[in-house]
Amino acid sequence: MFSTGWFRLGVFAALLSIGVTPCASAVAAADQPADVTLYRVFLRDGSTLVSYGEFARVGDRLVVTLPVGSGDAPELQLLSLPADSVDWEKTDAYADSARAMRYAQTHGPNDFALLNNAVTVALSDIGLVEDPQRKVAMAAEARQNVMKWAAEHYGYRARDVADLAGLFDKVIAETRVAGGAANFELGLVANMAEAPDVPMLPAPDARESVEQAMRAAAIVPDAAERTSLLRSIQKVLATVDGRPEWAVSLGARAGAALAAEERTDRAYHGLIRESLQLADRYARTANVTGVERVVRRVLREDDRLGQRRPNEVAAALATLDATLDSARRLRLARDSFAARAEVLRAYQLAIAAPIAAMETSRGALDEIRRLAGPTQLRLTRLSIRAAAAVKQLSAAAVPGEASSAHDLLRSAVTLAGRAADGRLKAIATGSMQEAWDASSAAAGALMLFERATDELRQLTTGK
């Protein structure tokens, strides 16, 4: 709400008396590029860096776009600086002033003109209201909106805005006096936020810009950003006319720093590549100790190199940790397999005789199945072998993974004994029914023996 009425003439007189003078910060920064705001990052060591546009604080890092070189098209480098290297009180104060300056140069005049119009309309609307209480409430709300406008618009022309808010104070006072109430001063306009007034620094020249970039390169923790920044410095210095002494000196410093970074990159690249390859070979053979030696070597070499690539080393160590875990798992699996292999070998020895007995009895069981024999002597031997095999199988220690095959084998041996006994009975009685029952038992024994031997083969060979 922004409306009242009978002070229209007074409002126009107040508006005419308010000048449109830009703030001191805008004047001081008149030589900055018109299309961008140059912020300043104040470091704790007393130096400053230019931020091409807004910077951002993300966790423990300050993300800033650093211009390298002068003119309208400098080299721009996106950098991530440690937040604890920044003097935030000075940096934030300068940023607030720069934003206020930018606002004063762009949207401020138009927004203030709209505020003027809104105040005029508000006074007109209030003047049309007859109810004194309603009039006072409207004026108080309008005055509060004017004050809020100043706070939300960087304190732009705060004193002039305070004068506008004072017009509503007059409406409230006169309305209360007209209604017989004692006059009073609301006293809120004095708290109007003033625009920040930190002097703006001029845009850096080529030399100052490069020197700032060199200081930034010394504190940037990320190696890739540091290397890119040093290359930009060299590129800018190569375009400086006449190659003055300062440019030659800074170029030599940048070249030496870049060469050192490239040597460090090569050293770390070779260390990490070789270490990962060696650790992978160790892991494939379940050599846990070998992988651990590789991890210790990486840490030792990183210390020797001055811990210059923390991000790359951290990533390599994470990969080595995963490789070490893989080697440990493979070692455990192989040890477990070896331990189970011993148990399986003992089991195979325990059932070797029953299996041999069944292999020897195949021919006799086939003859029983076909009702083609065999002789009583062979049947008696088959019955004895089957009874012995049942006892041997019952006495064997059976591993859990072999229980299914063992049950099949014991059933096959039991049926083989039953087939032999049944055939002997059929011979004694001359009963074909007994012979057919013996045939069925023999067929079942052969079938179950085949299944048992297949499962045992898969268990011991994996095929």
Q: How far apart are CA 234 and CA 230, in angstroms?
A: 6
pLDDT tens-digit readout, 438-463 = 999 999 999 999 999 998 888 776 55
Domain boundary residue, one of 187, 204, 221: 204
Token digits for 3?
């409306």
pLDDT at 25: 34
Which among 171, 111, 167, 112 is positioned nearest to 137, based on CA atoms? 171
Domain boundary residue, one of 275, 304, 333: 304
Same-domain status, 141 and 24:
yes
Q: Which of 172-176, 281-285, 312-316 shows the lowest per-residue confidence on average (mean pLDDT)?
A: 172-176
Instruction: Pick left, alpha or beta for residue 181 (phi over 0 → left; psi -120 to 50 → alpha; otherwise beta).
Output: beta
Order of strands, sheet of 75-82, starting from the edge strand that comes earlier in the sequence: 56-58, 61-68, 75-82
Q: How far apart are CA 10 and CA 119, in angstroms?
A: 12
pLDDT at 183: 53
Could you give the percent of the chain with pLDDT greater than 70?
Answer: 88
Name the pLDDT band for 307 (thresholds 50, 70, 90). Answer: very high
- For the residues of 276-298, what is the DSSP string, one character each? HHHHHHHHHTT-HHHHHHHHHHH
Token digits for 158?
């705060």
pLDDT at 384: 94
pLDDT above 90: residue 335: no
- Cis peptide preceding 374, ω within 30 of 0: yes
Could you give the percent of the chain with pLDDT greater than 90?
Answer: 57
Q: Which of 60-69, 145-154, 271-280, 380-389 shows the lowest per-residue confidence on average (mean pLDDT)?
A: 145-154
pLDDT above 50: residue 2: no
Q: Considering the domain boundaries, does residue 371 fall inside one?
A: yes
Token digits for 212?
């700032």
Q: Considering the domain boundaries, does residue 373 fall inside one?
A: yes
pLDDT at 69: 87
Same-domain status, 116 and 251:
no
Q: How far apart are CA 364 and CA 210, in angstroms?
A: 100
User: What is the mean pLDDT of the segment spanning 293-320?
Assistant: 94
Same-domain status, 241 and 127:
no
Per the structure, the complete domain to which residue 455 belongs is given by 361-461
Q: Considering the domain boundaries, does residue 346 fall inside one?
A: no
The partner residues of 61 in beta bridges, in order of sequence, read: 58, 82
pTM, rounded to two decimals = 0.57
Same-domain status, 377 and 456:
yes
Q: Considering the domain boundaries, does residue 356 fall inside one?
A: no
Q: Looking only at Cα atoms, what is the longest distance across the chain? A: 141
pLDDT at 121: 93
N-terminal to C-terminal alpha carbon distance within the chain: 87
pLDDT above 90: residue 401: no
Same-domain status, 220 and 192:
no
Q: Considering the domain boundaries, does residue 104 fall inside one?
A: yes
pLDDT above 50: residue 15: no
Q: Confirm if 411 and 386 have CB atoms less than 8 A apart.
A: no
Residue 190: exposure state from Cβ atoms within 10 A (0-12, 13-18, ≥19): exposed
User: What is the mean pLDDT of the segment spanning 414-423?
Assistant: 94
pLDDT tens-digit readout, 152-172 = 888 888 888 888 988 998 888
Q: Which amino acid is at 182?
A: A
Q: How many domains does the chain have?
A: 3
The partner residues of 66 in beta bridges, in order of sequence, read: 77
In whole angstroms, how far apart are CA 42 and each of 45, 58, 75?
A: 8, 17, 21
Name the pLDDT band for 72 (thresholds 50, 70, 90). Answer: confident
Q: Confirm if 214 and 250 have CB atoms less than 8 A apart.
A: yes
Same-domain status, 115 and 7:
yes
Domain boundary residue, one of 204, 225, 242: 204
